[in-house]
Amino acid sequence: MASPGAGMAEELSQKRGTRGDRRADPGEVFATLRRIFAESGREYRWHYVFAAICLMAIAATTAFSAWIMRDVVDELFVRQRQDLVILICGAIFVAFAIRGLATYAQAVTLARIGNNLVATYQRRVFEHLMRLGIDYFSEKRSGRLAARINENVTGIRDLLGITLTSVMRDLVSLLALIAVMIMQDPLLSAFALLIGPPLGFAVYKIMRRLRRVTRESVEVNSRLIGAMQEATQGIAIVKAFTMEEQLGAKINALVNDAEARANKIARVSERVSPVSDVLAGLAISCVIAYAGFRATMEQHPPGAVFAFITALLLAYDPARRLARLQVNLERSLVNARMIYEILDIVPQQRDTPGAKELHVRTGEVRFENVSFGYAKELDVLHGVTFAVAPGSTTAIVGSSGAGKSTLIALLQRFYDVDSGRVAIDGQDIATVTKRSLRNSIAYVSQQPYLFEGTIRDNIRYGRADATDAEIEQAAVQAQADEFIRQQTQGYETLVGENGATLSGGQRQRISIARAIVRKAPILLLDEATSALDNESEARLQIALGEVMRGRTTIVIAHRLSTVINADQIVVLDHGRVAEHGTHQSLLADPHGLYARFHRAQNERGLALQDDIQDEKVNMSPETRASETGSTT
């Protein structure tokens, strides 16, 4: 079932992508900044005040350096005032010392704030993703999503840092230096400031293209990182099907696309520099020419001119940074918006208002006229009704696509039913908290998933407060203790990414131990023994028999031999309950669906045995002898 929130975010993203040439207006910047400050600013307000004071000190000392040049030239060099040498030199030294200390203090403060902001938003995004439903992740590639988060979360930090430094340092410095220039020569100041309008127009034109290119670059990079992650995770399939060249061509195309986007961003964003340099060079050269003319023709004292030129030169850097402010804001704003697009997705499976804790007394499970579809045009279940008695085992069988795994997903509220209800001990699971519901269920999936860490850690994920003794006892019951102790570090052995260092059967047995240690009253087994060989499966069936005793158990199985002893067998056909009963009662109807499944599996098993026997008959005596010896 598609998540409306995810769909809206995706649609919004596409719309913004098509309007990428629209320049961000100040209202959008202020709205985003206001949201960031509202969410995180209070915690850092005194840090920001301290950083702002340091930045203003930098601006003040910069303006002071230009202002004092008049006294340096006129008093020290023209009038040769020796009594002012120590005072002027001391003032310059103090100004530069304050500037250096303030620069260090603001840089460290802003870095600590920025790093904490990144960590905070990483935690927020992860916690929010954990609240979203399964449907959201079924629509998103995990590698691309992780790359997008990693690349965009720094945009919030940069947006705050750029805004603060631009306002408190660059803008204040520029205004102070302009004041010094006006104090020295108002006419020259007016002439020098004429470069502002054409520079602003040039920045406006450049920004029209930068936003679209930046968003495209983020998307391409996320696809690239996602593709690389998929290739490394599926390296066994890559090697087995000699997919190296195919994937290499795909990665190469993405790398080239990412490189082209990055180069385009560089070309577009760096256009500000030559424009600002040409305009600044024109203004400075004209000012110097005019000042030189006045000094030679009108015998004007040079101190004011030197102070003016110094202020003009010092004003160039903050003016250039302010001219690039929109460029940097565009990049950070795009990244911040893409993070907020994720945070603004409304979870579709919230707990209902007033939801209560689930209290499992006997463990009875009922599906009452349940209908469900992942999309309106694709219904999976139609009026499914059956009950699982407390402490009993119910097996669900049927052909692929019949809806078996969907029933398991609905019981855990990965999705909500379209109609009907699912109840545990008479309590509608839609009216209880999801956490209490899932705490009452132990689940073993068809594809076992292990997390990075040790074997002991992966079993303990079943219940965080499980003791080491309970973990090892669960491993014994899951027939995993023997191979675990054969590992180099026993239970402390690292399993690698998704259990890469273990076989499929070993991973499955660890996941079963994880379910055992949970000690939940309801046990769900989705083809739990599918990855095991016959001997391990037989041993595990005995262990599961002990574990299932006293628990309400629902088993999904394709191999009917694993469900013979179930208290009840429910046969699904195209999303409907076709039959239900015990193994013997269902076999009593030779025309029933279960009986046909049973005959088909027996015929396949006999055919496989005949093939093996024929192969042995056709072996040479030497090969048969070696085969027999190796088997023995």
Sign of the torsion formed by the C-alpha atoms of 210, 213, 216 and 221 = negative
- Residue 390: its H or E element: none
- 381 is written with which tokens? 């279940």
More confident residue, 467 or 155: 467
- The three-class DSSP label of residue 5 is helix
pLDDT of residue 423: 94
More confident residue, 459 or 190: 459
pLDDT of residue 300: 64
pLDDT bucket at 2, cuts 50 / 70 / 90:
very low
pLDDT of residue 343: 83
Q: Compute and round to an integer the Cα radius of gyration of the chain.
A: 36
Instruction: Please check the confidence at residue 456 and state whether its pLDDT lies above 80.
Output: yes
- 165 is written with which tokens? 């430094």
Q: Tell me: the pLDDT tens digits for 322-350?
A: 767 766 777 777 778 778 878 888 777 77
pLDDT of residue 532: 62
Cα of first residue to Cα of last residue in the chain, in angstroms, is 53
Contact 78, 302 (CB under 8 A): yes
Q: How far apart are CA 16 and CA 333, in angstroms?
A: 13
Q: Tell me: the pLDDT tens digits for 206-255?
A: 666 666 677 677 778 777 877 777 777 677 677 776 778 888 888 888 88
Going by C-alpha positions, the residue among 526, 521, 497 that lies closest to residue 511 is 526
- 362 is written with which tokens? 């006997």
pLDDT of residue 179: 84
Tokens 């795009």 correspond to 334
